[in-house]
Chains A and B, each alone.
Chain A
Amino acid sequence: MKPRLAFFDFTGCEGCQLEVINFEQELLDILSAADIVNFREAMTERSDDYDIAFIDGAITTERDVARIKEIRERAKILVAIGACACIGGVNCLKNFYPMEEVLRIVYGESAHYYDTIPARPVDAVVPVEYYVQGCPMTQSEFVKVVKALLAGKKPEIPNYPVCVECKMAGNICVFEKGETCVGPVTRAGCNALCVTNGRICWGCRGLVDDPNTDSEKEILAKYNLTPEEIIAKFRMFLGYSEVAK
């Protein structure tokens, strides 16, 4: 029997779900190997009977907590897709303010109708089997994870910094151009997308397993960033991790 896939969105921009819909050939290939039974962005049908649940978005309310637990119970395999779901992502920027203030800023007068809790990645609430990192999620990695799931293998996800891919692409390091980035502690897998396209790495793919963040901070300081600027750099995507505290 074909495996049944379901997609669920939590707090995020839905960019990751769009990335899934944006697949052309690959989506058809996936559909021939699996059934998609739940995907709010793309279809009206809903089913609560699924094997693999793909989650995008961060957990930011008590309702989210209850809902993700329910999905976890139904799914055999849970895959977090995108920075919000995998590492908390930009949502965690709010964690550095009191929650009442956050509500007031966003909802003003109607703040009391809403609840909010500090944003967290999916695995802060329930166990996650696989991750497709990136903001938006890296498409090629999504395909890689799906293939591995279908073949019953472990996907090969890089556990080395973006610098590796930067060098493979022949990029000039941004540190040599008067800029700075957190690529040396960020998990590769995007082919150094941003640097290759003339920007800097903000760490959207999360940290490598054993990052030397102390050394990275020392380097940023050596390149004249103030302690506040250094923290701000890490808070962009990595607000949930120790390094941004």
Chain B
Amino acid sequence: MKYEVITKEDFPSFVNGLLSEIEVVGVKMKEGKFHYDKIKSYDELCLDYDVTLIPPKKYLLPPKETLLKFSLGGAIQVEPSIDATPRVILGVHPYDIKAIELMDAVFSDSNPDANYMERRRNTVIVGVDCRNPSPNAFCPSMGTDTTETGFDLLLTDIGEQYVVAIGSEKGEELLKKHARTREATEADLAQRKAAQEEALAKYKLSIKAAVEEIPELLEKNYDHPLWEELAAKCLSCGSCTMVCPTCVCFDVQDDLELNLTAGERFRQWDSCMLQGFAKVATGENFREDCTSRLRHRYFRKGNYMLKRYGKLGCVGCGRCIGACLAEIANPVEAYNRLKEGS
């Protein structure tokens, strides 16, 4: 990998340069929390944050999106609808980059998702290593505290400067065009490593099992009383999945206009934690009881995704831990309890 260095003094003009040619979304403050939003200038941007409320997946799989428009009067007309505005997502943490890699795997599999794929092609990811992790994060356990893949550029704060890892040609071009940089020296790279290690020491939570052990740990404990115990408190509110960067489920519906001859097909986020998720047209519900829904989420994260895509379905961002009012969506607690065999 190639590495460049940009000073913090020069960084604003890089961002403003990007803004002159493409939409840029980045992390902003919102009532003491952080969220992704469109930015108009460098000043709004926050690069030292713990975690955002909603992951950047909202730009690749919007909460609600029109898939096609149709009209039924006379000859039936169907027109696909894809909003794939070119944009840079700026300041993505490594765990969220890993999650996007997983989304790429899901949406490009067997029957590629046209809307996702086109948006993805038009998206540039400029990541940043996380300096101050959220108290709920457990990235080191999942190997996602930093990443070597999945980005166009990745920044690491080394004090007065950023080391920029170049992940793609597109990234390199944008950097060349809009920033004054110099090649990184051995000393810069040593500082980069030190900065990453310093951050690593700040994580508070960890899973007592090795990542490779998790799938089997779950399989062995399919009938563990833990699932029922947690489900007793579950609100089936979906919060744990809505905020999860690796949750990609959606529901497709048609919306007819009042004239009943034209309308649109749209999709919106869905969740395996919701009561109706596994209900089919004939009325049966494959996961009617809350226990099976709750267990399914853990299995999807820690077992099914790995089997199907070769990647674990959890990147350790800890968002679910913070979002669950019932305090039962915590993967660290669940895996550790299974590991301890209690």
Instruction: Answer yes or no: A210 CB below 8 A from chain B CBs.
Output: yes
| Chain B neighbourhood of A147, CB < 8 A | 256-258, 260
Docked CA distance A166–B271 (Å) = 14
Interface string of A1-36 (1 = CB under 8 A from B): 000000000000000000000000010011011000
Residues of A within 8 A of B190 (CB): none
Cα distance A219–B243 in the bound complex, in angstroms = 20
Residues in A neighbouring B33, C-beta threshold 8 A: 172, 176
8 Å CB interface, A146-166 against B: 146-147, 150-151, 156, 159-161, 163-164, 166
Q: Please, how many residues of chain A have a CB less than 8 angstroms from a CB on the other chain?
A: 38
Answer yes or no: A96 CB below 8 A from chain B CBs: no
Residue A143, interface by CB 8 Å:
yes
A184 touches B235 (CB 8 A): yes
| Contact for B275 among A151, A173, A208, CB less than 8 A | A208
Contact B256 A161 (CB under 8 A): no
Q: Does B269 contact A (CB under 8 A)?
A: yes
B323 touching A167, Cβ below 8 Å: yes
Residue A108 CB within 8 A of the other chain:
no
Shortest B303–chain A CB gap in Å is 25
> Are A160 and B258 CB-contacts (below 8 A) given A172-B31, A172-B53, A184-B325?
no
Chain A residues positioned under 8 Å from B269 (CB to CB): 164, 168
Kindly identify which residue among B63, B233, B236 contacts A161, using a CB–CB cutoff of 8 Å: B236
Q: How many residues of B contact A (CB 8 A)?
A: 35
- Expressed in whole angstroms, the minimum distance between the Cβ of B159 and any Cβ of chain A is 32
- B323 to chain A: which residues have CB within 8 Å? 167, 173
B residues 28-55 near A (Cβ < 8 Å) are 30-31, 33, 35, 53-54
Determine which residue in A169, A212, A216 has the highest number of CB atoms from chain B within 10 A of its CB, and name it.
Answer: A212
Known: A168-B269, A173-B325. A159 touches B276 (CB 8 A): yes
A188-212: which have CB < 8 Å to B? Answer: 208-212
Nearest CB of chain B from residue A244's CB, rounded to whole Å: 18
Asked whether, in the complex, the Cβ of A167 is within 8 Å of the Cβ of B233, the reply is no
B259–A184 CB distance below 8 A:
no
Asked whether A215 is an interface residue with its Cβ less than 8 Å from the other chain, the reply is yes
- B237–A160 touching, CB < 8 Å: yes
Contacts of B260 in A (CB 8 A): 33, 147, 150-151
Pick the residue among B234, B237, B258 that contacts A29 (CB under 8 A): B258
Q: A143 to B258, Cβ gap below 8 A?
A: yes
Q: Is B122 an interface residue (CB 8 A)?
A: no
Interface membership of chain B positions 196-238, coded 1 if the CB is closer than 8 angstroms to chain A and 0 otherwise: 0000000000000000000000000000000000001111111
- Segment 94-149 of B: residues with Cβ below 8 Å from A: none
B53-65 interface code vs A (CB 8 A; 1 in, 0 out):
1100010000110
Within 8 Å CB of B253, what residues of A?
156
Q: How far is the CA of A160 from the CA of B249 in the complex (A)?
A: 15
**Residues of chain B from 230 to 288 with CB closer than 8 A to chain A in the complex:** 232-239, 242-243, 253, 256-260, 268-269, 271, 274-276
From A218, which residue of chain B is reached at the shortest CB distance? B233
Residues of A within 8 A of B63 (CB): 168-169
**How many residue pairs between the two chains, A and B, have CB atoms under 8 Å in the bound complex?**
99
**Known contacts A170-B53, A210-B275; is A30 also within 8 Å of B237 by CB?**
no
Question: Which A residues between 123 and 147 are near B, CB-CB below 8 angstroms?
Answer: 143, 146-147
Chain A residue with the shortest CB-CB distance to B30: A172
B242 pairs with A150, CB closer than 8 A: no
Q: Which residues of A contact B276 (CB under 8 A)?
A: 159-160
Q: Which of A26, A164, A168 contacts B237 (CB 8 A)?
A: A164
Question: For the complex, is A185 an interface residue (Cβ under 8 Å from B)?
Answer: yes
Complex alpha-carbon distance, A177 and B33, angstroms: 11
Indicate whether A175 reaches chain B with its CB closer than 8 angstroms: yes
Nearest residue, chain B, Cβ from A180: B325
Flag if A164 contacts B234 (CB, 8 Å): no
Cross-chain contact B275 with A209 (CB below 8 angstroms) = yes
Bound-state CA distance A150–B235 (Å) is 34
Q: Is B22 an interface residue (CB 8 A)?
A: no
Residue of A with least CB distance to B263: A147
CA distance A33 to B290 in the complex (A): 42
Q: Is B194 at the interface (CB under 8 A from chain A)?
A: no
Q: A167-B323, A175-B325 are in contact. Are A215 and B233 (CB under 8 A)?
A: yes
What is the CA–CA distance of A209 and B35 in the complex, to the nearest angstrom?
32
Are A219 and B326 touching (Cβ within 8 A)?
A: yes
Q: Which residues of B contact A (CB under 8 A)?
A: 30-31, 33, 35, 53-54, 58, 63-64, 232-239, 242-243, 253, 256-260, 268-269, 271, 274-276, 290, 323, 325-326
- A contact residues vs B (CB 8 Å cutoff): 26, 29-30, 32-33, 143, 146-147, 150-151, 156, 159-161, 163-164, 166-170, 172-173, 175-177, 183-185, 208-212, 215-216, 218-219
Task: Please name 28 pairs of A and B residues whose Cβ atoms are closer than 8 Å in the assembled complex, sorted by A.
Answer: A29-B257, A29-B259, A33-B260, A147-B257, A147-B260, A151-B260, A159-B275, A159-B276, A160-B237, A160-B238, A160-B271, A161-B237, A163-B238, A163-B239, A163-B242, A164-B239, A164-B242, A167-B323, A168-B242, A168-B268, A168-B269, A170-B35, A170-B54, A172-B30, A172-B53, A184-B325, A209-B275, A216-B235
